[in-house]
Amino acid sequence: MSRSERLLDLLQVLRRHRQPVGGRRLAEETGVSLRTLYRDIPSLQAQGAHIEGEPGLGYVLKPGFMLPPMMFSEEEVEALVLGSRWVAKRGDNRLAMAAADALAKIASVLPPDLSESLDTSPLLVGPRQPIAEGIDLGLLRKAIRGERKLDISYIDNDGRDSRRTVWPFALGFFEQVRVLVTWCELRQDFRHFRTDRISRALVSDQRYPRRRQALLKDWRAAQDAAPDMRGTRRG
Domain with 161 in it: what CATH number? 2.30.30.520
129 within some domain: no
Contacts of residue 30, defined as CB under 8 A and 6 or more positions apart, other chains included, come to 6, 9, 10, 13, 37
Which of 11-25, 101-115, 179-193 is least confident? 101-115
pLDDT exceeds cutoff 80 at 110: no
Q: Give the model's pLDDT for residue 78.
A: 87
- 190 or 135, higher pLDDT: 190
Same domain, 57 and 81: no
Same domain, 147 and 225: yes
Q: What span, in angstroms and rounded, lies between the C-alpha atoms of 235 and 184?
A: 9
Q: Give the model's pLDDT for residue 67.
A: 56
Same domain, 109 and 188: no
Q: Give the model's pLDDT for residue 193.
A: 96
Distance of CA 66 to the CA centre of its chain: 18
218 within some domain: yes
Highest mean pLDDT out of 82-91, 126-135, 166-175: 166-175
pLDDT exceeds cutoff 60 at 6: yes
pLDDT in tens, 34-81: 999 999 999 888 877 889 988 888 999 987 665 555 567 778 888 888
Q: Give the model's pLDDT for residue 71.
A: 61
> How far, in Å, are 12, 87, 196 from residue 93 at the CA level?
32, 9, 15
Q: What span, in angstroms and rounded, lies between the C-alpha atoms of 47 and 28?
A: 23
Same domain, 50 and 73: no
pLDDT exceeds cutoff 80 at 233: no
Same domain, 13 and 55: yes
- 192 or 12, higher pLDDT: 192
Range of the structural domain that residue 28 is part of: 3-61
| Residue 188: pLDDT band with limits 50, 70, 90 | very high
Q: How many domains does the chain have?
A: 3
Q: What percent of the chain has pLDDT over 70?
A: 91
pLDDT exceeds cutoff 80 at 191: yes
Q: Give the model's pLDDT for residue 130.
A: 73
pLDDT exceeds cutoff 50 at 230: no
Contacts 24+ apart (CB under 8 A), 108-115: 109/69, 110/69, 110/70, 110/72, 110/77, 111/69, 111/70, 114/69, 114/70, 114/72, 114/74, 114/77
Residue 150: closest CA among 214, 198, 216, 211: 198
Q: Give the model's pLDDT for residue 206.
A: 95
Same domain, 92 and 169: no
